[in-house]
Chain A
Amino acid sequence: GENVEQHPSTLSVQEGDSAVIKCTYSDSASNYFPWYKQELGKGPQLIIDIRSNVGEKKDQRIAVTLNKTAKHFSLHITETQPEDSAVYFCAAREGNTPLVFGKGTRLSVIA
């Protein structure tokens, strides 16, 4: 089955700097890769997703890149703000199979 590895487990950046979180997946058939943000005491909130027919997707300060050959995808957050502080999860899925999640990255943005 699918296995998703996520790095780093913790990340601290200065406000205004960029943050990058990386994930690798094992199943080359996976074709959908969402990123979720989870704040304390809340459920995961989808922030951006990408499908395997696209190499990059941007939404304001957030971007995701996908390298199908290397089986890895990354989340990029530019101009970080204190409210970006949260735990971020990547996930992967093939078709309508269940999402498989990474273990999460705790991002701290220092003002």
Chain B
Amino acid sequence: ETGVTQSPTHLIKTRGQQVTLRCSSQSGHNTVSWYQQALGQGPQFIFQYYREEENGRGNFPPRFSGLQFPNYSSELNVNALELDDSALYLCASVYSEGLVTDTQYFGPGTRLTVL
């Protein structure tokens, strides 16, 4: 067990809807990253939050947004869902300070299906 939890496990939505995915970081971790993993592919970086501020973003449109809370839990929000958004969404937490970043641990993921 990594100490990183995600909810829900599975989710089915229809095109155009909005979805919120949740992540609870491992205790002591101040940085959370979200990844999208399409079937048969490696995880693709969406964005990262450090101490409640977004401090890095991958090649994803603005309809992908997030929040990190004071207790370091996090949300990923996706608006105007498209069929291609169907994927496994992973969050990963790590302790980071300055140039030092420890080992990153992943949660089990949320499987999102868009119909």
Q: Identify the closest chain A residue to B46 (Cβ).
A: A98
Q: How many residues of B contact A (CB 8 A)?
A: 30
Most chain B Cβ neighbours within 10 Å, of A36, A42, A44, A46: A44
From 32 to 66 in chain A, residues with beta carbon under 8 angstroms from any chain B beta carbon are: 32, 34, 36, 41-46, 49
Residues of chain A contacted by B44 (CB below 8 angstroms): 101
In the complex, whether A96 has a CB less than 8 A from a CB of chain B is yes
- The complex places the Cα of A101 from the Cα of B44 at a distance, in Å, of 7
In the complex, whether A69 has a CB less than 8 A from a CB of chain B is no
Most chain A Cβ neighbours within 10 Å, of B40, B104, B105: B104
From 11 to 57 in chain B, residues with beta carbon under 8 angstroms from any chain A beta carbon are: 31, 33, 40-45, 48, 56
| Interface residues of A, Cβ cutoff 8 Å to B | 6, 32, 34, 36, 41-46, 49, 89, 91, 93, 95-104
